Amino acid sequence: MKTIKIGIAGLGRLGLIHADNIYKMKHVELTAISNLDESVNKQVQEKYQVPYAYTTYEEMIENDELDAVCIVTPSGFHTSHIQLALEHDLHVFCEKPIGLEVEEIKQTCKVIDKSDKVFHLGFMRRYDQDYLYVKEMIDRGDIGDISIIRSYGIDPIAGLESFVNFAKKSPSGGIYLDMSVHDIDVIRWFTNSEVTKVWATGNNKVFPELNELNEVEMSTATMQLENNTTAFLVAGRTASHGYHVETEVIGTKGMVRIAATPDKNKVTVFNDQGVVRPTSQSFPERFREAYVDELKDFVRCIRGQTKPEVTAVDGLRSTEVAIACQRSLEKNKLVEIHYEG
Amino acid sequence: MKTIKIGIAGLGRLGLIHADNIYKMKHVELTAISNLDESVNKQVQEKYQVPYAYTTYEEMIENDELDAVCIVTPSGFHTSHIQLALEHDLHVFCEKPIGLEVEEIKQTCKVIDKSDKVFHLGFMRRYDQDYLYVKEMIDRGDIGDISIIRSYGIDPIAGLESFVNFAKKSPSGGIYLDMSVHDIDVIRWFTNSEVTKVWATGNNKVFPELNELNEVEMSTATMQLENNTTAFLVAGRTASHGYHVETEVIGTKGMVRIAATPDKNKVTVFNDQGVVRPTSQSFPERFREAYVDELKDFVRCIRGQTKPEVTAVDGLRSTEVAIACQRSLEKNKLVEIHYEG
Amino acid sequence: MKTIKIGIAGLGRLGLIHADNIYKMKHVELTAISNLDESVNKQVQEKYQVPYAYTTYEEMIENDELDAVCIVTPSGFHTSHIQLALEHDLHVFCEKPIGLEVEEIKQTCKVIDKSDKVFHLGFMRRYDQDYLYVKEMIDRGDIGDISIIRSYGIDPIAGLESFVNFAKKSPSGGIYLDMSVHDIDVIRWFTNSEVTKVWATGNNKVFPELNELNEVEMSTATMQLENNTTAFLVAGRTASHGYHVETEVIGTKGMVRIAATPDKNKVTVFNDQGVVRPTSQSFPERFREAYVDELKDFVRCIRGQTKPEVTAVDGLRSTEVAIACQRSLEKNKLVEIHYEG
Amino acid sequence: MKTIKIGIAGLGRLGLIHADNIYKMKHVELTAISNLDESVNKQVQEKYQVPYAYTTYEEMIENDELDAVCIVTPSGFHTSHIQLALEHDLHVFCEKPIGLEVEEIKQTCKVIDKSDKVFHLGFMRRYDQDYLYVKEMIDRGDIGDISIIRSYGIDPIAGLESFVNFAKKSPSGGIYLDMSVHDIDVIRWFTNSEVTKVWATGNNKVFPELNELNEVEMSTATMQLENNTTAFLVAGRTASHGYHVETEVIGTKGMVRIAATPDKNKVTVFNDQGVVRPTSQSFPERFREAYVDELKDFVRCIRGQTKPEVTAVDGLRSTEVAIACQRSLEKNKLVEIHYEG
């Protein structure tokens, strides 16, 4: 079996996870890395015996050995990095979001559309066994027509300080682009319908200083879909109990909840606090296997064994909805979304 | 200890529950009943040895032996029945809502205000041990400032047919007045803040015929409060698993859920379905003790031992919010609420 | 309806609970109390307007107004108090155990048998809604033939000190007679079969000083029944999370657990400990309603509306098994139990 | 990094799982298979591009390319296959149990002891994240001294027929050797203490025909340990809800349960059954990752990066205890266990 050679761009927290997952795959080589910080590069190169290391993305994609790139650079670079890779005839795995600006994304979609290379977008929840189990229930009709979806993504408060530092340096695009795109994608995936109206709210009751950064620590978005489903999202950064990702689907035949409690494992502790279930503390912990499985799927796509589940248009739509949420939050008004053909 | 003599008006489903609870109280007598259906009256009179039975409310309140009335008549009669009772110097326990029209309620509030008799409104969740436990947590500061409240009230689908028949005969006032007032009251109680904006949505995916009755089987309402808390309500009539009443409070220090699963009891069944928790099937089952406790509190108020927890203004505010939700649903727009003095 | 007049003997922790429950029943009067401590008597008499108070049981049962007695005196007095009451033509409600010595109990059974008065034994779990729900499942055949039963009764460690003080003064009869009789009764009730062999173990890892008192803080008993069911009990006094009473039934068609977690209420807290369910802290809290319901049943029996669910023989059998467990623990051997006709 | 070449012996259900896991490991090659059924061999060889296939174990271990073997043959062959492999200077991973006869195992232990090759025994629970989490809690002292351990292993009833067919052909060694060795190993691992006395019971209420095969469908074993801990095991074959593996540890400072409900995933379904958690249906599903992790550990041991967690003596002890349970079951007596040096 031919070895697929992958170069990774960006070695932040998530980039290191992807690097590790690529390295561990059989018949796959982590052939190159590109990242600004040379000391990180050196460590990664040694740990995984990576043949090539670069400080810029542009250098890396000139490497002729590469079959594919995995883009984990800051969101603002995604569209240009995708286009560059496709121009160099490389398969592309790109972390969400596909971009921060609608026009750029639309243009990138066209480039992707014309290319015969694989384009794979990092909506890892689509590879999570729990989400897949519910998607199958929905598709089988087990829960009937969907009336309401509720989806939460709340980061642990332990990570808030590092977020604030991060947000001071580079704009996150707002909490909806940064976090809710995952929930928005799940809503579209589960319902096969598009969001048409949103009303978003938020506040900074723990960290009022976030007001100055134009960020919110806790936010909601209520959405109406074409098929008259209502969706309610919570995105936040101040969960005291861990990393709370939860999705609920209320259908005409039943209701399901994914991760109603963000259990870390199957252990229950009975101590002086009561009956305690330990919780997941981070997205790498919660979605560890989903991150592995999405890259495995990317490699299967490269080998021509399957097609990507998520398309560039999925990335575009999620971004459009997230941007509408952000606008609604800022104006405290209902915002309608109009999609072009 | 002086025996308190109570007359009950209305012997529908909930009226019968109140009658039973009044009958079982020590030092309290179920002295009179008023209800249109004489055959029901006869049964109740025998079962509880009730001295007096009437077919009209007006007759009953002329009975000089009575100390108090318990009003469980259809919602449209509440305001006039309250006023009549107070004019006859009777203490009043009235089921929610206090009325269907804002102006009528306001006028009734004035009458209540002038009277020195006890007025007690049937928001039984305020007497439920689970809700009280969380109210105490909130007041102690255990969960910090409240950012988001979510509250569900979904009736079992088994009761839908009887609701449709009921709705054909007399208007329910819409799902928000009929069901959500409980959730609205909880939100106001937990936050000490008022709702200022609402957006409501709903659909009839199981029973499209409800469209003609101007009813919705499944609805949501998103609300913004003065203190910048966001509340999200679901009210529905099609739960396949039972009677789903659930409330969640997300605060700056933690999160609590009341009845995240509507467990019927402490039994877990492991069978060919998986691990199954049986569920409560109706409000009388779920709130059995709360219904007892609210009447006990009413009697304590009559005896001068305590003051009513809920005021007429609480009833007015919940109705105003419910009406705003209904208007938002009908227009599919954000609706602002302006309260007078 | 004739008022039933009840005298209560013993105003310890559980006696006070029974007194309160008797007082609150309609058409029932708490007519007399007998208790050594006159200051307690005075308080109870005032609180419940009790007509008569005595410092000895013997005086109380001479009161001709009484219809019945509720015996909550120390276990060692039960058999003589039962017999005295029946001789005075009084209905008897007696707390478990029926006695500490098999011969005394057998003799008491004969007296009970000859009397036409109601004899009601305080196995309150038979009136608990959760246990009743499972009993019905078993009787309906929902879980098939029973293979294994597991039943835990573990007191909170917070109560250990007061237990030690209590045990120093008067023998508890050992943990099996003191605590496991409830579990033994449940096993007999659920299976309709008798225990034939037991092996019991125990230790004092927290409070080694209990060794001197011939008590164990944590103990087990494995039992074989006539119908080849195996039962496993845990009785203990050192639960850090509260009052842990749990029963499991493994049948050929399924498995059920009653109170797998000893939830205090329906509240779930998400805080820096993880996902926490508060727990019941004491038997009065856990079995509050069962204590009410067993006395209501006693009154119904007195009125001739029903028959006692639990017989004196049930009390005898539970005691015989508990004594066998205690002997097995002391000898660390399998002990066989032989019942007489 | 040198590629480790492994041959697998036995391609039954579990053998196929190990083959798949070996194949997927990086820097490891599934170099050979030995298995009686040539049609299975052909499929496996193709699926994983296995260089060599044999119908006998003896042939396979002559292959000079091999570094190690993975023994998944019937339990009765384990001791001789282990010895043969070590004689051929191969590292050995062997599925539990290490053998069926104590004397054979002891002799094998001596051979293992003398060899400098890695010997790794397949107690996969020691690699399960939930069991590891609790082991760490115990070692940190979070739950104090252990008083009681309870451990269940109950297979789904769906597999009973295939078990009966299997048992008719070759003796399983009884339910304790076949299933409870895992629980026995966990008890020894968690407590660092040895079992000294056992009493075992069992029955065949669903499949009385198992009596003829000298098998039991549902069994218990109560055990006393040197350090005065009591352990209670259930092993069975008739769970209607799935594959129920659960372990509880009651310590002086708290209590923990691993997999109190055998949840398949994080999904909760609310339907006409109530609130339902789907369950794991088989050991490959429940312990999927543990099976991967134990082989990864085996490879790390071969590379000299770590030492095996489980020793041959652990295998011997578990077998001795399981055999004592079986004898106790057959005689319905307490059995004492005496270990040599």
What burial letters (b/e) apply to A245-257, b meaning 16+ CB within 10 Å? bbbbbbbbbbbbb
**For testing contact with chain A, the best of C160, C206, C275 (most A CBs within 10 A):** C275
- Pick B28 or D165 by higher pLDDT: B28
Q: What is the mean pLDDT of chain A?
A: 96
Q: Are C214 and C208 in contact (CB under 8 A)?
A: no
Query: Residue B61 corresponds to which tokens in the numbers above?
Result: 């309140």
Q: Are D180 and D233 in contact (CB under 8 A)?
A: yes
| Architecture of the domain defined by B126-289+318-336 | 2-Layer Sandwich (3.30)
DSSP secondary structure of D247-281: EEEEESS-EEEE-SS-BSSSEEEEETTEEEE-B--
Does position A307 have pLDDT exceeding 70, yes or no? yes
The per-residue pLDDT for D162 is 85
Q: How many CB atoms lie within 10 A of CB D331?
A: 10
Measured between beta carbons, the chain D residues lying within 8 angstroms of A267 are 130, 133-134, 256-258
Using DSSP, state whether C156 is helix, strand or coil. Answer: strand
Look at the domain C4-117 and name its fold.
Rossmann fold (3.40.50)
Average pLDDT over residues D48-55: 98
Please return the burial class of D174, using the count of CB atoms within 10 Å of its CB with bins 0-12, 13-18 and 19+.
buried
The per-residue pLDDT for C341 is 59
CB contact under 8 A, D241 and B277: no
Q: In chain B, count H helices and then E strands.
A: 12, 15
Q: Is D220 on the interface with C (CB under 8 A)?
A: yes
CA distances from A190 to A97, A187, A251 (A): 19, 5, 11
The per-residue pLDDT for C114 is 96
The per-residue pLDDT for D173 is 82
Average pLDDT over residues D51-70: 98
CB contact under 8 A, C130 and B253: no
The per-residue pLDDT for C161 is 87
Q: What is the mean pLDDT of chain B?
A: 96
Compare CB distances from D232 to C206, C232, C332 and report the shortest one's residue.
C232
CA distances from C297 to A332, C66, C119, C302 (A): 60, 18, 11, 9
DSSP secondary structure of B107-132: HHHHHHHH--S-EEEE-GGGG-HHHH
Find the helix packing angle between B181-191 and B312-331, rounded to 10°: 120
Q: Give residue-wise pLDDT tens across range A170-208.
A: 777 899 999 999 999 999 999 999 999 999 999 999 999
**For testing contact with chain A, the best of D267, D286, D288 (most A CBs within 10 A):** D267
Q: How many CB atoms lie within 10 A of CB B319?
A: 26
CB contact under 8 A, C277 and A275: yes
CB contact under 8 A, B265 and C25: no
Q: Is B235 on the interface with A (CB under 8 A)?
A: no
Which candidate, A275, A160, B249, B136, places its Cα nearest to that of C274? A275
pLDDT tens string, chain C, 341 residues long: the values are: 899 999 999 999 999 999 999 999 999 999 999 999 999 999 999 999 999 999 999 999 999 999 999 999 999 999 999 999 999 999 999 999 999 999 999 999 999 999 999 999 999 999 999 999 999 999 999 999 999 999 999 999 998 888 888 888 877 789 999 999 999 999 999 999 999 999 999 999 999 989 998 899 999 999 999 999 999 999 999 999 999 999 999 999 999 999 999 999 999 999 999 999 999 999 999 999 999 999 999 999 999 999 998 999 999 999 999 999 999 999 999 999 999 75
| Neighbors of chain B with 3 or more C-beta pairs under 8 Å | A, C, D
Per DSSP, C279 falls in state B
Q: Give residue-wise pLDDT tens across range C220-255.
A: 999 999 999 999 999 999 999 999 999 999 999 999
CB contact under 8 A, B275 and D262: yes
**For testing contact with chain C, the best of B26, B266, B293 (most C CBs within 10 A):** B266
Q: How far is B248 from chain D (nearest CA, A)?
A: 17
Bridge partners (DSSP) listed for residue A76: none
Rounded-to-integer distance, Cα C313 and Cα A204, Å: 67
Residues in chain D: 341
Q: Is B260 on the interface with D (CB under 8 A)?
A: no
Using DSSP, state whether A308 is helix, strand or coil. Answer: coil
Q: How many CB atoms lie within 10 A of CB A17?
A: 18
Percentage of chain D beyond pLDDT 70 is 100
Q: Are B310 and B121 in contact (CB under 8 A)?
A: yes
CB contact under 8 A, C264 and A274: yes
CB contact under 8 A, D263 and A260: no
Q: How far is B142 from chain A (nearest CA, A)?
A: 12
Compare CB distances from D133 to A130, A255, A265 and report the shortest one's residue.
A265
Question: Looking at this predicted complex, what is its ipTM?
Answer: 0.95
Rounded-to-integer distance, Cα B312 and Cα D35, Å: 82
Does position A168 have pLDDT exceeding 90, yes or no? no
Domain boundaries, chain C: 4-117, 126-289+318-336
The per-residue pLDDT for A341 is 59
Does position B137 have pLDDT exceeding 80, yes or no? yes
Q: Is B263 on the interface with C (CB under 8 A)?
A: yes
**For testing contact with chain C, the best of A275, A276, A285 (most C CBs within 10 A):** A275
Q: Give residue-wise pLDDT tens across range B233-282.
A: 999 999 999 999 999 999 999 999 999 999 999 999 999 999 999 999 99
